[in-house]
Structure 1
Amino acid sequence: MKHAETAVIRHSRGLHARVAALVVQKATELARLYGAELELKAADGRQVPATSMLAVLGLDLRQGARLSVLARGPGAEAATAELARFLERDFSSDAQGPLSQVDDLLDETTLTAGQIFTSMAAGLVVTDAKDRVVVFNPAAERLFRLPAPAALGRPIGEFWPEAAAASVRTNREPATRRQALPGGAVIATCTPILLEGETRGTVTLLEDISHVEELAGELRAVKELKERLQLVLDTVHDGISVVDKEGTITYVNPAYEEIAGRRRAELIGKSVFALSPQGVRARVLRSGEKVLGALTRKANGRTLVANVSPIYVEGEICGAVSVVKDVSEVERLAEHLHKVLARAEYLEQELTRTQELPAAFAGIIGRSGALREALAVAQKAAASTSTVLIRGESGTGKELVARALHAASPRSGRPFVRVNCAAIPAPLLESELFGHEKGAFTGAWQRRHGRFELADGGSIFLDEIGDMEPAMQAKLLRVLQEREFERVGGETTIRVDVRIIAATNRNLEEMVRTGRFREDLYWRLNVIPIFLPPLRERREDIPRLAEYFLAKLAGRLGKKVQGITAQALACLEQYAWPGNVRELENVIERAVNLAEGATVTAADLPAYVREGGAPGVFAAAAQEAPLLPFAAYEKAILARALAECGSFRAAARALGLDHKTVAARARKYRLTEQKLPASG
């Protein structure tokens, strides 16, 4: 049977030492009288035997504190009621005169003992005659990782089965052993509490030895490391030597013996100042600074590289360590490897140049190494779905390569959609790329699909990507990352499967540096870069291109021109071609129109091509040429800008003018009626 009563401490000093002794005495009497086990439970949950002086005193209950009196046994109800009444007594009337002084002394002693228990670095666990815990200090809490309220009043074996308290109490002999607790390893020393020949409990001290064991483990690790280091030093192929601060050699490894050509016994104890006073080790000991990569050529033809570092202990030099490597064989192998790599690179380039390209690339004229290398990259890129960025000057054939790349890819049966980002005004480019909903803006009379939707399943070619405005760059970045977008004025997200091929003649790296092109977009586009060489770097292709354009244009124009003279061909080969292949096609078209016979001659070529310089209108600005009207220069500049840039907007950017001015002046010179070549 179990019963509980509540009591309030009335005594002004609380349950101090004398009162605690009276309570314990009373509880002992009641336990015998009623056959009950009495316990006290504080408000914070600590529960201790009412018959244990240390345990009751450890509750440290003050005046006004509430506690529960618990009892088990036949007379539990009577025992709890009587002890609760006893606890609520005011014991002040008993403490008059000398007894009050005794109370003061007991309080001081109790306080001192409590502070000692609390501040002890060692864990302290005290048990009573029934092995119940009556003292459990903070260090014990840390070691057991158990709060005191959870330990007090419990048999110690419940949470510490390995405890020696029971055996020590029985045998009355101290016991010391190593124990592994949750908080670390300890040395547990358990001593019996003997009073009048009887064992009243035990005191266990727990000395934390975790740090000591860690140090022991570290010492073992250091010894193992030393053995391993010694093994490494003895087996490495680098020569290693150690000298003390006096320059005396204290260690050399076998490799050093082999490199030096002397046995260890001949070297240990010798001074480097005597062996090589101007050597690297002597220099390091004098200066206290390391020397790396010191090169020495021995009389036997060996080449040695030495790294020597000073050894400092507490800021003072106490020696040096030298690592010497024989690089003679390395030098020989490096030279041989360099030759092999050079030959392999040459053979790889030749293989790339001679390898037949797929039929999709047949329309690209040229056999030069630079072009074949670019097309080889394009051929490999065709099998992938990754983004391609085609780089090259205006007129080098970027669009032609983009179309060939698409035709050689698994998407060849799907759409190829081209967008000239420079030719479309910035306000309209978003609608052009992503489409718009009906009523999205003035003039949007019906829904329109954008170029990305039209290219779904195929490829989209974003020409002149470097001319795109920053705001559109951010929107394009999302499509590259997520493959989704919304139409202008729409809310529905559209997902597309599109292979993106971009092209530009701009220096994107410089634009990124100056903030005109987004760096994140640059890296999204520049997955597979293809660099197309300018025509001036592939002059061997000019005859083949000239013949191709001659046959093509003669047929289109209905001319019976069938060849080109060697002199005319020589003029074409020595010209710089700032407009690249597009300019070459333009010159051949002019020559076909002007040719009087079946062959194009040098006379049919523009004077600036024959002379190998700039077009004649620009040469007229030189001092030796007669001046022309300003309009002639303006027309020539506009014509060249349009030929190279391919659109009014791009030409305006190149010339530093606005779009309207370039368009108006082009119409003035009837340039708008000319068919502008598509940029590639």
Structure 2
Amino acid sequence: MGKGKVTYINTDIKFKEFNKQIYDQLFGQMLEGVLIVNSRGLVEYLNPSYQKNFGVSDFAIKGRSIYNTINDEIVLTSLKNKKNLQGYVYHPEKNCKYRVVTSVLVDEKLFKGILAIYHEEKDFQTFYRKNIKSYCNSNNTNKAFSNIIGNSKGIQEAIKIAEKAAKTNATVLISGETGTGKGVIAEAIHKASLQRDKPFVKVNCAAIPYNLLESELFGHEQGSFTGAIKKKIGKFEQANGGTIFLDEIGDMPIDMQVKVLRVIQEKEFERVGGNESIKCDVRIIAATHRNLKELIEQGLFREDLYYRLNVIPIYVPSLKERKEDIIDLTYHYMNKIGKEIGVSPKTLDREVEMAFASYDWPGNIRELKNLIERLMLIVDEPIIRLSDLPPEISKTYELNNQNIESNSLINLNIDGNLATMEEYEKEIIKLALKKYGSFNQVGKILGLTHKTVAAKARKYNLVE
């Protein structure tokens, strides 16, 4: 019987308590690796292909917690959220990447665990060129969005709305934490719009001093104030016919908000010190990391401007909310930065991938990109290892790992040593008797006869 290849997997599998023989009949001949984890996070089955690909044995990790074995963020996230997921894991020693598809296992609507299937991408560099660089052309309807990397639900939803926004001239309000890529999405909307050949003008409202903001936005006439030695064309006038991107609009002074509202409503404004009304046909895209509704309640943001801007709202998720995209983003930036600085692409050690997944990335994509640039410059080896990472990332991972190990099914004694089998057996039976009371019930739970339980309880002086 030849080995088969998976072409489809049901996203709502009816789960039953199969034994290893039946699992082997189902998955034993598959070329793809198969991993089954139960609802408690314990490894229930791994087929021969999985064992071969990841260099592990059924005997070594079956029954152990997924947190203490070879694992990936896709499986952990799927298990935690009880959702079907797909993504990629990289194997640095083999220099290959696996596409991972997880499916929730259910029985009578009860969550029973996760089934994960691993398909090896034979040529990683070919895979990268096809799936990371070109995936944007297949997943996104417009090439303007090709710089937005990610398969997570949150970022795909943002791209979907942005693509629709590009087909209209409506105002757009992009919200999300600092460093999430709000400006990239704003520029992509412009490039995908009918105004793509017209100006795209960026204004950071938080970076311009209050006394200069009006002049910067609307321009000024010569002699309108001290230092105005000649007429200046403002950002709105520069963007005429195209798009103006008002970044951090939540930091705009409230009296300036009135003037922006007038541009939206009447499509005209006056320069500082001028009397002539200047017509302005411009598409406005605004962005903020602040909660504008809270600012409205505090009297710091105009409610009428908020509703004028919020015609098409787009939320850009933080990196913490889209951790399944971190590895794809990392390799994207490694290849991009590598070309810019003339350095060959590197790969991530397994522990580095897990450290990246456990870190919260408060600076989001901006922080990740800056770190990748630093690592590409200072790491001489072809593989980036845990010791190469800054302490705020490596120490977080090590601390999380210690916490996981402390929750292991087997606890070490104070010296860090294993106890004898008899000591473990005594404690298990002692605990089971305390919880279940009778030899019969304990036998059913532990898979022993009641006579065996009774004999062992007497052997360890647990009963009279």
Letter of the structure 2 residue corresponding to residue 470 of structure 1 = I
User: What corresponds to 1:40 in structure 2?
Assistant: none
Aligned equivalents of 2:151 and 2:159: distance in 1?
A: 10
Aligned equivalents of 2:215 and 2:183: distance in 1?
A: 23
1:400 aligns to 2:174 (yes or no): no
Letter of the structure 2 residue corresponding to residue 360 of structure 1 = A
1:356 aligns to 2:140 (yes or no): yes
Letter of the structure 1 residue corresponding to residue 355 of structure 2 = C
2:157 to 347, 364, 373: 373
Q: Deviations over 1:357-399 (max 9, x none)?
A: 3111011111111110111011001111110000000001000
Aligned equivalents of 2:348 and 2:141: distance in 1?
A: 28
1:568 aligns to 2:343 (yes or no): no
Aligned equivalents of 2:322 and 2:347: distance in 1?
A: 21
Q: Which has the higher contact order (CA 8 A, sep 6+)?
A: 2
Q: Does the residue aligned with 2:202 lie in a helix, a strand or coil?
A: strand
1:591 to 368, 375, 397: 375
Report how many aligned residue pairs link the two structures: 264
User: What corresponds to 1:557 in structure 2?
Assistant: 341
Residues 325-336 of structure 1 aligned to structure 2 (within 5 Å): none
Q: Does the residue aligned with 2:287 lie in a helix, a strand or coil?
A: strand
1:475 aligns to 2:259 (yes or no): yes
User: What corresponds to 2:361 in structure 1?
Assistant: 577
Letter of the structure 2 residue corresponding to residue 485 of structure 1 = F
User: What corresponds to 2:390 in structure 1?
Assistant: 606
Deviation, 1:560, is 3.2
Residues 243-282 of structure 1 aligned to structure 2 (within 5 Å): none
Q: Is the 8 A contact 1:431 1:488 kept in 2?
A: yes
Deviation, 1:442, is 1.1
Q: Is the 8 A contact 1:388 1:528 kept in 2?
A: yes
User: What corresponds to 1:430 in structure 2?
Assistant: 214
Letter of the structure 2 residue corresponding to residue 453 of structure 1 = E
Q: Does the residue aligned with 2:201 lie in a helix, a strand or coil?
A: strand
User: What corresponds to 2:273 in structure 1?
Assistant: 489
Residues 327-346 of structure 1 aligned to structure 2 (within 5 Å): none
Do the aligned partners of residues 485 and 613 (structure 1) sit closer, same or farther apart at CA in structure 2, a change above 3 Å counting?
farther
Letter of the structure 1 residue corresponding to residue 248 of structure 2 = E
Q: Does the residue aligned with 1:596 lie in a helix, a strand or coil?
A: coil
The two structures have a TM-score, normalised by structure 2, of 0.55
Q: Does the residue aligned with 1:572 lie in a helix, a strand or coil?
A: helix
Letter of the structure 2 residue corresponding to residue 513 of structure 1 = E
Aligned equivalents of 1:526 and 1:514: distance in 2?
A: 19
Deviation, 1:604, is 1.3
Deviation, 1:596, is 1.9
Aligned equivalents of 2:251 and 2:290: distance in 1?
A: 8
Aligned equivalents of 1:507 and 1:480: distance in 2?
A: 21
Q: Is the 8 A contact 2:140 2:146 kept in 1?
A: no
- Of the two, which has the highest radius of gyration? 1
1:417 aligns to 2:201 (yes or no): yes
1:547 aligns to 2:331 (yes or no): yes
Q: Is the 8 A contact 2:214 2:272 kept in 1?
A: yes
Q: Does the residue aligned with 1:436 lie in a helix, a strand or coil?
A: coil
Letter of the structure 2 residue corresponding to residue 441 of structure 1 = F
Q: Deviations over 1:10-31 (max 9, x none)?
A: xxxxxxxxxxxxxxxxxxxxxx
Q: Is the 8 A contact 2:358 2:397 kept in 1?
A: no
Q: Is the 8 A contact 1:561 1:599 kept in 2?
A: no
Aligned equivalents of 1:563 and 1:355: distance in 2?
A: 25
Aligned equivalents of 1:545 and 1:411: distance in 2?
A: 29
Deviation, 1:556, is 2.5
Aligned equivalents of 1:365 and 1:541: distance in 2?
A: 8
Aligned equivalents of 2:307 and 2:180: distance in 1?
A: 23
Letter of the structure 1 residue corresponding to residue 371 of structure 2 = V
Q: Does the residue aligned with 1:501 lie in a helix, a strand or coil?
A: strand
Deviation, 1:613, is 7.2
User: What corresponds to 1:52 in structure 2?
Assistant: none
User: What corresponds to 1:454 in structure 2?
Assistant: 238
Aligned equivalents of 1:356 and 1:432: distance in 2?
A: 35
RMSD (Å), alpha carbons:
2.0
Which sections of structure 2, spanning at least 5 residues, go unmatched? 1-108, 110-137, 399-464
Do the aligned partners of residues 436 and 613 (structure 1) sit closer, same or farther apart at CA in structure 2, a change above 3 Å counting?
farther
Letter of the structure 1 residue corresponding to residue 169 of structure 2 = T
1:390 aligns to 2:174 (yes or no): yes
Aligned equivalents of 1:557 and 1:566: distance in 2?
A: 25
Do the aligned partners of residues 443 and 602 (structure 1) sit closer, same or farther apart at CA in structure 2, a change above 3 Å counting?
same
Aligned equivalents of 2:295 and 2:171: distance in 1?
A: 20
Aligned equivalents of 2:265 and 2:396: distance in 1?
A: 48
Deviation, 1:551, is 1.5
Residues 56-71 of structure 1 aligned to structure 2 (within 5 Å): none
Q: Does the residue aligned with 1:612 lie in a helix, a strand or coil?
A: helix
Q: Deviations over 1:632-678 (max 9, x none)?
A: xxxxxxxxxxxxxxxxxxxxxxxxxxxxxxxxxxxxxxxxxxxxxxx
2:290 to 500, 506, 511: 506
Residues 120-131 of structure 1 aligned to structure 2 (within 5 Å): none
Q: Does the residue aligned with 1:448 lie in a helix, a strand or coil?
A: coil
Letter of the structure 2 residue corresponding to residue 588 of structure 1 = I
Aligned equivalents of 1:527 and 1:505: distance in 2?
A: 18
Do the aligned partners of residues 561 and 380 (structure 1) sit closer, same or farther apart at CA in structure 2, a change above 3 Å counting?
closer
Q: Deviations over 1:496-522 (max 9, x none)?
A: 110000000000000001111111111
Instruction: State the percentage of identical aligned residues.
Output: 52
Deviation, 1:553, is 2.0
2:223 to 435, 439, 459: 439
Aligned equivalents of 1:564 and 1:558: distance in 2?
A: 19
Aligned equivalents of 2:221 and 2:394: distance in 1?
A: 55
Aligned equivalents of 2:357 and 2:307: distance in 1?
A: 37
Q: Deviations over 1:220-241 (max 9, x none)?
A: xxxxxxxxxxxxxxxxxxxxxx
Q: Does the residue aligned with 1:363 lie in a helix, a strand or coil?
A: coil
Aligned equivalents of 1:369 and 1:561: distance in 2?
A: 28
Aligned equivalents of 2:188 and 2:396: distance in 1?
A: 33
Q: Does the residue aligned with 1:367 lie in a helix, a strand or coil?
A: coil
Q: Deviations over 1:604-637 (max 9, x none)?
A: 11111112279xxxxxxxxxxxxxxxxxxxxxxx
1:524 to 308, 315, 318: 308
Deviation, 1:593, is 2.2
Which sections of structure 1, spanning at least 5 residues, go unmatched? 1-338, 340-353, 615-680
Q: Is the 8 A contact 1:542 1:572 kept in 2?
A: yes
Deviation, 1:561, is 4.2
Letter of the structure 1 residue corresponding to residue 319 of structure 2 = L
Aligned equivalents of 1:370 and 1:561: distance in 2?
A: 28
Deviation, 1:355, is 4.7
Aligned equivalents of 1:612 and 1:584: distance in 2?
A: 16
Q: Is the 8 A contact 2:354 2:397 kept in 1?
A: no
Q: Is the 8 A contact 1:458 1:498 kept in 2?
A: yes
Deviation, 1:558, is 3.1
Letter of the structure 2 residue corresponding to residue 605 of structure 1 = L
Q: Is the 8 A contact 1:438 1:446 kept in 2?
A: yes
Aligned equivalents of 1:599 and 1:559: distance in 2?
A: 13
